[in-house]
Amino acid sequence: MKDTALLAVSFGTSYEETRKKTIEEIEKTLAQEFPQADLRRAFTSGMILRRLRERDGIHIDSVDEALKKIYEDGYQTLLVQPTHIINGDEFEKMISQLAPYREKFKNVYVGRPLLTSSKDYEDTVRIVMGENKDLKNDEALVLMGHGTGHFADAAYAALDYRFKAMGHLNVFVGTVEGYPELDDILPAIRRFSPSKIRLMPFMIVAGDHAINDMAGDDEDSWKNILTGEGFSTECALKGLGEMKGIRQIYAEHLKKALCTD
């Protein structure tokens, strides 16, 4: 057995197909970048853990369960990398669950979420636009983030600003549960008057929000609201975790933690 355990912590998803394309691919990247560590997984969403257990008979550890097992298995060094996007509620919950275990290990290193440093924003903009190279200048990319009541929700408006500061005036960032909402960015979309709108989730997985709130058939889905505004729309059900560059940012965050902690 190796001396080091690497715990990859995700919010989670109940959709198997996107889980394999996103969360599992991030975990594979981490395992490749840190071959000295044994990889473990934990989800922070109690609702998703419950759904997977009751619907599919799949057990995935909570953060506390995973940490307890890692400690009982005798590891001396603990690496933790969340796949969260912002330094919000889920990240803080993970940190609080980790706190009782910090003194139980010889070394503990924790990487940060995706949007942490100014460079993270710039890199993320480049990666997302690299995935949308075929987007024409008169077309718009509308990204759906999750959003939160936490003050870190400001990251989404900051990201929208960063896209435009880097020359992408046809990119608009909104959220389903925070600010800005679709109604907040609609005036700017109308002013831009795109020939077509591409909708894409700004979430690690293309799960429930992407399938239903963004691309769903209900009248209040973003697709149908924008279609009702007279725009031609298309939906790209691709989570951030499918993008190699995004996966690499997480690995770099953990490398940075090892250098600075």
Residue with tokens 């198997």: 16
Contact yes or no for 15/236 (Cβ under 8 A): no
When pLDDT is cut at 50, 70 and 90, the band that residue 48 belongs to is: very high
- Is residue 175 within 8 Å of 211, Cβ to Cβ? no
pLDDT > 60? residue 50 = yes
Average pLDDT over residues 216-235: 96
Q: Render pLDDT for 8-38 as a digit per residue (tens, 0 to 9).
A: 999 999 989 999 999 999 999 999 999 999 9
pLDDT-derived band of residue 261, with 50, 70 and 90 as boundaries?
A: low
Would you say residue 252 has pLDDT above 80?
Answer: yes
Over residues 210-233, mean pLDDT: 96
Angle at 145 between CA 33 and CA 247, to 5 degrees: 10
Q: How far is CA 125 from the centre of its chain?
A: 14
- Taking only Cα atoms into account, the Rg of the chain, rounded to an integer number of angstroms, comes to 19
Band of residue 2 on the pLDDT scale cut at 50, 70, 90: confident
Q: What string of DSSP letters covers 18-81?
A: HHHHTHHHHHHHHHHH-TTEEEEEEE--HHHHHHIIIII------HHHHHHHHHHTT-SEEEEE
By the 10 Å C-beta count (0-12 exposed, 13-18 middle, 19+ buried), 211 is classed as: middle
**The whole model's pTM is what?**
0.95
| 146 catalytic residue (yes or no) | yes
Give pLDDT tens digits for 92-138: 999 999 999 999 999 999 999 999 999 999 999 999 999 999 999 99
Decide: 204 and 26 in contact? Cβ < 8 Å: yes
The pLDDT assigned to 260 comes to: 73
pLDDT of residue 225: 98
Quick one: DSSP state of residue 205? S
Neighbour count for residue 15 (Cβ, 10 Å): 17
**pLDDT tens by residue, 51-88:** 999 999 999 999 999 999 999 999 999 999 999 999 99
- Kindly state the average pLDDT of the residues 163-181: 98
How confident is the model over 200-213, as a mean pLDDT? 94
Catalytic residue among 84, 146, 168, 253: 146
130-162 pLDDT, tens per residue? 999 999 999 999 999 999 999 999 999 999 999
